[in-house]
Amino acid sequence: MKISVLGLGYIGLPTSLLLADAGNTVIGVDINNKIVDLLNKGQLPFDETGIIDLFQKAKNNFTASDTLETSDVYIIAVPTPLEKGMKLADLNAVRNAARSIASVIKEKQLVILESTVPPGTSENLVVPILRNNMKRSFYYAHCPERAIPGKTLHEMVFNDRIIGGIDEESAKKTKQLYSSFVKGNIYTTSTKTAEFVKLMENTFRDINIALANEFSLIAEELGIDVWEAIEIANKHPRVDILKPGPGVGGHCIAIDPLFLAEKSSKSRIVTLAREINDSMPRHVVKMVKEMIKDIENPTITILGLAYKGDVDDTRESPAFKIKRIAEGEGINVKIYDPLVKDIPDNSKTLKDAVCNTDCIVLVTDHELFKDINPMSLQIRTKNLIDTRNILNHSIWRDAGYRIKILGIG
């Protein structure tokens, strides 16, 4: 099989390498020449558990290119963000990818859309572009990705997959292809249902986190420890409340529920959950202001820019929202995340990051932050806000810190 994967990001590259490792000839196509050059020089554009070893094993069957060639299979794994300043899916990359496939596709070839899209996108946008006003016969399926950064490769292999085909033959062919590396079950359905299922999954998590966040606000008001309360509530066999935090980030949960909302007038809880989660960065800044209210010209340090622990992905991260809101309130903000590269203001060392600071605000639950020795920090005012409840607070208290934990009243 000659397979072209369009988009060599967090999803497209691991998928390409798994397919190459399974014996297919894979051409990864990306409009970003830097990524193409890097890969062809044998370097990876980002880190992910196990990807270096997989790249070594698969690289004889894999090349990167900026040009799409005719192939047996085309997989679209391009980004689907929100339109700038809007709560609507920006499908430009999907549209462009479909157009480039339409210019090279031949009869009986298979196109698979992996990108997350609003329900109906396959039927109303991608398939019509591929048909290109001709009676061309091709196979088409939507196979949404469910993997999580940090465990992408493991989950791509072991998670169950869902395949929505435009017809049975398309679903069957796609299932056959994914069976070459997927060890989970593979379920088939229609394209629109597959699109909907993917969005339901992330919306379910977004609403659960919004509930945890609302519980944390209630707990703060009532003088309760929400972390202890959630732990006890989760002992109930049918209760599984997720964790509260400073807001939801990433390319999925913070965005995908809005793809449902834009397609239906019936979504209420979906929109409300987004609003609650989006309000958390402002709540964190309120906690900060309370903590440093007596300090003139204050400076704070945000620990963690990634949207979640132990990854370098900063997309939609609440850290940037907290920074922007705090700066708007006249607070100087320093930032520090040793896992994240290419962010201009990112302090080089923890020592630089906390120097002349009046409050440390822990935003990302990186494991390495747990090892910080508060005794060793040269800080101006010993204040700490832990929005993830991950630090050993007694050692920070012993080091003289005033501490506030999100969700504890």
What residues line the site for ligand NAD (CB under 6 A)? 6-12, 29-32, 35, 77-80, 93, 96-97, 114-116, 145, 147, 149, 251-252
> What's the min distance (Å) between Cβ of 79 and ligand NAD?
4
**Beta strands 139-142; 161-165: pairing state:** antiparallel
Query: CA-to-CA distance for 371 and 101, rounded, in angstroms?
Result: 49
Give least dist CB 144 to ligand NAD, A: 7
Report in angstroms how near the CB of residue 106 gets to ligand NAD at its nearest.
19
Shorter beta-carbon distance to ligand NAD: residue 95 or 289: 95
Q: What gap in Å lies between CA 283 and CA 244, rounded to an integer?
A: 12
| Residue 92 C-beta: closest distance to ligand NAD, Å | 8
Rounded to a whole number of angstroms, the minimum distance from the CB of residue 30 to ligand NAD is 4
Catalytic residues: 198, 252
- The pair of structure tokens assigned to 125 is 């946008």
